[in-house]
Structure 1
Amino acid sequence: MPLTVYSIARKMELDVEQLLTQLALETGSPAPVKGEALPQVWKSHISTDLECPSCFSTGAEMVRAGRSKTDGHVVRQAYFRFSQGSDSPGHHPFCDFSGNAPAGFIPENLVQFSTPKDGVSKAVRDLVCKGIGLGVFGQWDIRAMREWFFTQKVDSRFTVTLDPRLPAWLESFQRNRAWHYSEGLEGLTLTEEVLRVPGFNFQGAASRELTRRYRAVAQALSDRRTFVIADLGRIGKLAYDYQGQPVFDPSVLRPQYERTLALAAFICSNHDPLIRSIKTYAPLASLKNPKYLMAFAALLLFISDWDLDAAVGRFAQIATSKEQVVESLGNVMGLNPFHDFSAWAGLKALQEHPQLRAFEVPSVGVKEEMEAWIAASKKTAGL
């Protein structure tokens, strides 16, 4: 359930308390105290004016904070609910808040700029506040980018069919394969005499045998389409969690992803509040929590029609301004449209590669297969 929503009439993001304050000011009526129902006219306005920050559905209901009867402390956050009913379709099926999302849940691709958790997110929050204060972009631009991404997500999808066991097997294969495999040795017969050579490298021979058996897999992993693969463990988890489900196809956004990486790396290498948080040899990769910066970089590129020079110019305008930071301007939900991009791209590449599509994951693990070959070879040699 979202903590904030976008007001169409006000062109801004609001949480429950901010909305109640706005309605009280606009109508001249005091906000209802605890236990009092909202005026019907307020309920109608909330239902028609407020949008889900992910799928832009209307039909919102306000759920106020719950407080302890003993000490008055908040025991449940205030949030907005988009229930399915006669007057509301509820969340879109592909919405990040659909299903049983709990109150206060923030999808991994959404970024709450108003709640910085470290030096990086605070530096980015300040850039966002200054950008809004200068008029470089507004909350409506952030909302427009979220809508653009949601449209991309709905229109570009594929169904996950990758065997969830394959990534872990591939990871083990990569660790144990013979990287300098020579096809000239492929026909070599390892006789009993050869196997009894003092110092014979059974481990190396097992690696060569493994690579020979799965040469098609080794070739597939060397293919440009699959050579750069993200964390295979993450790919395996995604394949397990989303098996048989339609998911967003990230490949349609690769040009935008690469420009966002370039801009984010430029910003963290050339903005003093961020420089202290990076390692110069790998500026972006060394950030512990890059999603705030990725969201900001994507926003600058979005309002610049994905032109890198124009986006850098807007960053420079914000970074060099003496504009005072007004923290309340940062009360907005940003978007990192490239969360898990490389993992999803890797999953799709593995799933669609012609040499891997029909590959059946062996029932025996890679190391066990090698150990079995070594044991059989030693037995043959009488060792």
Structure 2
Amino acid sequence: MAITVYSQKFKREIDIEQLLSLLGHNSLVDINTKIKNLSKHEKDEIYQDVLCPICLSRGGKIVLESITKQAHFRFDTHNYFCDYNNSKQDKSQKGKLVDFGTNRSGETKIIRELVAKGIEQKIISQQMISEMRKYFYETKVNYQYKMDVSIDALKWFYLLKSFKRRTLKIPDIKFNPLHAQLPEFNWNIAAEIFFINENKNLIEIANNCSLELENTQKLYDKTKKIIENTQGSRVFDVKELEIPYKNTIKLSQFIAFNLAIYTIDNGYPVYLDNSDIVLAFAALLLYISQWNIDLAILKLIEIVKSPEPIDINSGNIIGLNPFYNFEVWANISKIREVAKNSKNGFDLKAQIEAIKEQLRNEHRTNI
């Protein structure tokens, strides 16, 4: 559902109201009547003129306003990775479209007013949101790959993560064949210690994540589901967006804490910094501030201190939370890195058995 399009004729991004006005349809009637009054020739011209504001696909048709949706454009097709592409064949990561104009909850009312203020003060605009979308679209295109992470790689990754505690307890002592002469020597334990010492780098990669990912069953299950559903499909490596993501999380928390955006649960405040609309607003402020948190906060303060909006409906624009499911995709990126560095495969039992045989051979040759 594209609220705005790029008009080749007028050389700018516009919504349906603006397009109809530029085409001379300025009568004081509702939007649906204006759309219905378009001639077939005008509709054909619009179809040839307008482009998707993200992927620049052609062929936009105007869709009438309904009870649940405002008048918008629908395109025959969108390019892969476009946030408007809802095709079942496009299994890539999508941002979460967010309606800044809704006022169904406490946080949306607050953000809606801030967006309206920001637009009237010319700090933010629909054009800026469109440019941010293009930025994320181009990042996806530039850093794409075919999903090649297997479920075996997923299990291997979590197995290596579990070895982290053991690395702190085992001695970093190289195996000596004479060790086998000790009365309680255990070949299985020796092989496991050998494996851990030989794979410390892999274990560190699995556990070294600059993002604070929750090591939960929920994250594991989500990761597994996405890997299964996207096998062989084009996706993109989210590690290229790690800094924007981390800064968006920080700014979202700052906004929620300092603007009292919270709900009450069992008598205690729960801050809504993970709300899609708060994240979308934080991402927009950061994008127009070159992802600099300090600059984004200054823009936030300027918006908050500005006068009440003359027209609250100026905040009726569609924003984007570009980091929807980001933690899951960051997890997949890390699994992929570990898998590429696992030269001996993902079968721990086979590797332990091979090590045991190697150690026994060393023992035999040194008896």
1:5 is aligned to 4
Is residue 2:11 matched to residue 1:26? no
Task: Give the match for residue 263 of structure 1.
Answer: 251
SS class of match (2:25):
helix
Q: Deviations over 1:196-217 (max 9, x none)?
A: xxxxxxxxxx999867656656
1:141-152 map, 5 Å: 141-152=128-139
Partner of 1:250 in structure 2?
A: 238
1:100 aligns with 2:87: yes
Say if 1:5 and 1:80, in contact at 8 Å, map to a contact too: yes
CA shift, 1:240, in A, is 2.1
SS at structure 2 position matched to 1:335: strand
Q: Tell me the TM-score normalized by structure 2.
A: 0.70
Aligned to 2:39: 39
Aligned-partner residue type, residue 57 of structure 2: S
* Higher mean displacement: 236-245 or 216-225: 216-225
Which residue in the other structure is 1:239 paired with? 227
Q: Does 1:222 align with 2:204?
A: yes
Give deviations 1:273-310, integer Å, cap 9, x for gaps: 42x3499xxx9x96374332222122112222333332
1:182 aligns with 2:170: yes
> For residues 326 and 299 of structure 1, what CA distance do their matches in structure 2 show?
21
Q: 2:125 aligned with 1:138, yes or no?
A: yes
Distance 1:286 1:348 in 2: 29
Q: Which amino acid aligns with 1:343?
A: V
Identity in percent: 26
Partner of 1:330: 315
**Contact kept? 1:350, 1:356, Cα under 8 Å:** no
Whether the 8 Å CA contact 1:162–1:351 is kept in 2: the answer is: yes
What's the CA shift for 1:29?
9.5
How far off is 1:115 after superposition? 2.9
1:350 aligns with 2:335: yes
Which of residues 306, 311, 322 in structure 1 aligns to 2:291?
A: 306
Are 1:160 and 2:159 matched, yes or no? no
The 5 Å alignment of 1:61-76 reads 61-64=61-64
Does the 8 Å CA contact 1:221/1:227 hold for their aligned counterparts? no
Is 2:279 the counterpart of 1:294?
A: yes
Distance 1:181 1:320 in 2: 56
Kindly report which structure 2 residues correspond to 1:53-64, keeping only aligned pairs within 5 A, or say none: 53-64=53-64
**1:165 and 1:236 in contact (8 A); partners too:** no
Consecutive unaligned residues of structure 2, counting only runs of 5 or more, are: 214-218, 353-367
Give the letter for the 1:42 counterpart.
Answer: E
The verdict on how the C-alpha distance between 1:357 and 1:117 changes in structure 2, with shifts beyond 3 A counting, is farther
1:318 aligns with 2:303: yes
| Among candidates 74, 81, 89, match of residue 81 of structure 1 | 74
SS at 2:169 equivalent: coil
Distance 1:33 1:338 in 2: 38
Give the Cα separation in 1 of the matches to 2:163 and 2:189.
Answer: 6
Offset at 1:12?
Answer: 6.1
Alpha-carbon distance between aligned partners in 2 of 1:48 and 1:109, rounded to the nearest angstrom: 28
Q: 1:186 to 1:97 in 2, by over 3 A?
A: same
Gaps of 5+ in 1: 67-73, 84-89, 196-205, 370-383
Retained in 1: the 8 A contact 2:160–2:202? no
Q: Deviations over 1:299-331 (max 9, x none)?
A: 112222333332211100111223237332222
Residues paired across the two proteins, number: 331
Q: Calculate the TM-score normalised by the size of structure 1.
A: 0.67
Shift of 1:132: 0.8
Between the aligned partners of 2:281 and 2:247, the Cα distance in structure 1 is: 13
The CA distance in 2 between the partners of 1:233 and 1:148, in whole Å, is 30
Moved more, 47-56 or 344-353: 47-56
Counterpart of 1:86?
none
